Amino acid sequence: MFLHLHSGFRYLALLAGLAVIGYATWALATGRPHDKNIYALGGLFRAMMDITSILGVALLFSGRFPAGLSGHITLMLLATAISHVVPRVMRKRPPEERTYPPYIVATLIALVLVALGTLAAGHPIVG
């Protein structure tokens, strides 16, 4: 059961990450000022990453831990940590210094790590 939940939330995390990248790119291209929508999307992405990580830890404790998943675990935990960095930094910056490119870059890095971690577990990225 945890494996299916873990995989399902991975897809939700990927979709949320793509939403962050899409919105931030659109806002940057149209010159929109930094707004609450990016916080909401970033929060959704972080939440999906956190839930996926928690479900992964639950899988570990359930005894379903095949050998060779250390690369998967490391990459996924790193991706989850990266998903937390930019929103935290942006909240501490003055409003006039808040920009969209850090969201794009950090989310891209996190999604690449998720893809690599998924491949490291021996699963296709999508499918």
Q: What are the boundaries of each domain within the chain?
A: 2-120
* Residue 10 Cα distances to 26, 50, 55, 97, 105, angstroms: 24, 10, 10, 32, 19
CA dist 29 and 22 (Å) reads: 11
Phi and psi, residue 72, nearest 5°? -60, -50
- Whole-model pTM above 0.85? yes
Regions in the chain scoring below 70 on pLDDT: 1-2, 64-67
- DSSP conformational letter for 100: S
pLDDT of res. 67: 65
Evaluate whether 75 touches 116 at the Cβ level (below 8 Å). yes
Res 64: pLDDT: 66
pLDDT value for 115: 92
Cβ atoms within 10 Å of 16's Cβ, excluding its own: 23
Provide the pLDDT for residue 65: 66
CATH class of 2-120: mainly alpha
